[in-house]
């Protein structure tokens, strides 16, 4: 089977993607600034900046035959809107969105007209707003726009490109929230199922989108949040009684 390059394979979702693809028998190469964990022993691991064309090229070279790409990179700068800076905004955008351009270009060039697929990991923040997260939301929205453009412009050259929009996922970087009993209960209360997603829940969707069963799915943004963002907020009691509004 042809290989897949995973950008950000050391992260919670990225690491789960590596496991899911290996379970399918697909060769995987990882690009990340972090060192590999023991569970990824034997996986070609390129440590470096995923926005560097040479680093991306080394990951593709490590596998030789590559027709898949997963972009799991992110950056945040949490601050009130009035305290955000253009420098911080540019950095978050560069890491979270601009960094997907070069890998997509290389994927299509190296596929040489064969069918290939890319999945870009976005977030429900791309379509919603939360205080202090303007740069992150902006980067994820830009990433989705880039993915749609790639699907349309590079589709004739064999590329399928989709994005996934996870909701809250229990990964190491937010462990301080889901490991706290009170916070976990509050977060679970936002889910119709009463459960929180794990990284494997997102990884399985990504693996599907990379596979032949999704051969006619392209240019889409697939939300993986257990219907959390589909819930209509409960109206105030006065509305239910036929009051104002």
Catalytically annotated residues:
136
Cα angle 229, 10, 167; round to 5: 5
What distance in Å separates the CA atoms of residue 139 and residue 80, rounded to the nearest whole number? 17
Report the chain's terminal Cα–Cα distance, integer Å: 58
Which run of H or of E encompasses 6? strand 3-7
- C-alpha 50/C-alpha 141 separation (Å) is 19
Alpha-carbon distance of 22 to 120, in angstroms, equals: 19
């Amino acid at each position: 089977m042809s290989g897949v390059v995973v950008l950000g394979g050391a992260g919670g979702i990225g690491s789960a993607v590596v496991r899911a693809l290996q379970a399918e028998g697909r060769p995987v190469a990882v690009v990340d600034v972090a060192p590999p964990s023991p569970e990824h022993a034997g996986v070609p691991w390129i440590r470096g900046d995923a926005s560097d064309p040479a680093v991306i090229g080394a990951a593709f070279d490590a596998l030789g035959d590559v027709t898949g790409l997963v972009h799991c990179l992110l950056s945040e700068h949490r601050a009130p809107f009035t305290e955000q800076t253009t420098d911080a905004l540019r950095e978050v955008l560069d890491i979270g969105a601009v960094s997907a351009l070069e890998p997509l270009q290389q994927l299509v060039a190296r596929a040489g007209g064969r069918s290939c697929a890319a999945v870009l990991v976005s977030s429900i923040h791309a379509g919603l707003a939360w205080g202090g997260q303007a740069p992150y939301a902006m980067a994820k929205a830009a990433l989705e726009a880039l993915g749609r453009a790639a699907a349309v412009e590079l589709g004739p050259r064999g590329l399928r490109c989709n994005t996934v929009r996870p909701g809250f996922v229990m990964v190491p970087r937010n462990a301080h929230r889901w490991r706290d009993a009170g916070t976990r209960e509050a977060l679970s209360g936002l889910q119709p199922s009463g459960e929180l997603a794990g990284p494997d829940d997102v990884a399985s969707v990504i693996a599907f989108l990379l596979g032949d069963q999704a051969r006619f799915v392209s240019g889409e943004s697939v939300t993986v949040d257990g219907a959390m963002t589909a819930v209509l907020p409960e109206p105030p009691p006065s509305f239910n009684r036929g009051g104002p509004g």
